[in-house]
Structure 1
Amino acid sequence: MMTNLFSVFDPSSCIPIPLNWLSTFMVFLLIPSPLWLIPSRYSSIWTSILLYLHKEFKTLLGPKSKGSSLIFISLFSLILFNNFMGLFPYIFTSTSHILMTLSLALPLWMSFIIYGWLNNTTHMLAHLVPQGTPPVLMPFMVCIETISNIIRPGTLAVRLAANMIAGHLLMTLLGNTGPSLKLSLITILIVTQILLLILESAVAIIQSYVFAILSTLYSSEVN
């Protein structure tokens, strides 16, 4: 029995739920959202922050960066969101753990050092002795510069973790004293906790920016 050739265009579905016309609306999933959605204030602010960071990092990296500023922008975003997530109750602050911060700092530092010594060996050797150093002090300056280069990932990791731990620890210690305080002092405690929360929000932004900026400076030194 022959079927109608145009029956292939009949509405049909392989499941009992009538979803025949769903494909008409699924096209919106393929259209980029900026073409049909008005950007929110959050997305506009975040876009302006990313553009500012791109200009800042590109200035430090120089004209030969070739998009490497995106790596440090991603690093800044990762640390910033983790810092802010740690401000919410019952959420673990991953950036307060030395394992997390060292996992971010050590691979970056190792890649910079390996790239610098393999591709710019003369520049890396010259960087160990600052310009104008007397010949007598050159061996000491080489030792000092070598040690300062080796401890860089540690200083990056400890700086971020220590700042996150300090603020959260202070807020926890003050919060634990609440049940034993009088009603008149609880108001002062709440105001103090709000001020500390604002301070920690600023620290979360500053520390992520400092981590990204120092990583950018370490990268610019090997070129």
Structure 2
Amino acid sequence: MNENLFSSFMTPTIVGIPVVILIILTPSILLPSSSRLISNRFASLQRWLIQLTLKQLMATHNTKGRTWALMLTSLILFISSTNLLGLLPHSFTPTTQLSMNLGMAIPLWMATVVTGFRYKTKASLAHLLPQGTPTPLIPMLIIIETISLLIQPAALAVRLTANITAGHLLMHLISGATLALTSINPAISLVTFTVLVLLTVLELAVALIQAYVFTLLVSLYLHDNT
């Protein structure tokens, strides 16, 4: 039962070779490139959504922070497309892998911290000690603030992994219950199927919201260090 429940989160392989890279690259086919920009409704909607999201992310940034606009745009498009990929039948969600999310969170977090220590050294060090701290509490608060700084990438990765995994597990359980109840009690199975449809719509929203939250937190870390 446990193997069946978590089998959808295992990295798919072909002849023993992991194909996660090919799966990650699949959503990029849906995004129009510069060589095939067509003025249609899909491309116009995509550009409008990107501009709206970028405006929200860059609203509080200075000139130096706005140089990250392309990075943040690529990040939110990548995460949202991979999250939505897992909602397709017989598919795989790369963002349910904690290792992949850590691979995104740690370099981005490290880049913001290095940027802060390079351009705002005094302000970055001042964050480790709140103003007006009593002298006996200074060592303890420095340790606490340092730990809170170091766990930021882990919090980013675990938040994304937990939200996407929990939704997929719930959909898996409800769909299994719907199939089991079809031959036992069709009326109740219709109710569970309705719940499954509503949960699928909710997961569509969660996939986009979690991509926005991940990118927004990276943007906030960048704002604190530029």
Please give the root-mean-square deviation of Cα atoms over the aligned residues, in Å: 1.8
TM-score, structure 1 as length reference: 0.79
State the distance in 2 between where 1:144 and 1:185 align: 51
> TM-score, structure 2 length as denominator?
0.78
CA distance in 1 between counterparts of 2:65 and 2:118 reads 18
Shift of 1:102: 0.6
Quote the Cα distance in structure 2 between the aligned partners of 1:104 and 1:132. 36
Length, aligned pairs only: 190
Instruction: Tell me the CA shift for residue 64 of structure 1.
Output: 2.5
Show CA shifts across 1:15-51 (max 9, x none): xxxxxxxxxxxxxxxx9655xx4x2222222111111
Aligned to 1:206: 209
Q: 1:217 aligns with which of 216, 220, 225?
A: 220
Match of 2:61 in 1: 61
> What are the ranges of 5 or more consecutive residues in structure 2 without an aligned counterpart?
1-33
The alpha-carbon deviation at position 133 of structure 1 amounts to 2.9
**Residue identity matched to 1:215:** V
The answer to whether the 8 Å contact 1:96/1:164 transfers is yes
State how 1:131-170 maps to structure 2 within 5 Å: 131-170=131-170
Distance 2:35 2:156 in 1: 38
Q: Distance in 2 between matches of 1:128 and 1:71?
A: 27
> What is the aligned partner in structure 2 of residue 13 from structure 1?
none
Which residue pairs with 1:12 in the alignment?
Answer: none
Question: Measured at CA, do residues 32 and 164 of structure 1 come closer, stay the same or move farther in structure 2, by a change above 3 Å?
Answer: closer
Native 8 Å contact 2:129 2:142 kept in 1:
yes
Aligned 1:171-182 pairs, distance under 5 A: 171-181=171-181, 182=185
- TM-superposed CA distance for 1:59, in Å, is 1.8
Q: Does the 8 Å CA contact 1:171/1:196 hold for their aligned counterparts?
A: yes
Q: Which residue of 2 aligns with 1:94?
A: 94
Counterpart of 1:183, as a letter, is P
SS at match of 2:60: helix
2:191 is aligned with what amino acid? Answer: I
1:72 paired residue number: 72
Counterpart amino acid of residue 180 in structure 2 = S
Measure the CA separation in 2 of the matches of 1:96 and 1:61.
Answer: 30
Structure 1 regions of 5+ residues with no counterpart? 1-30
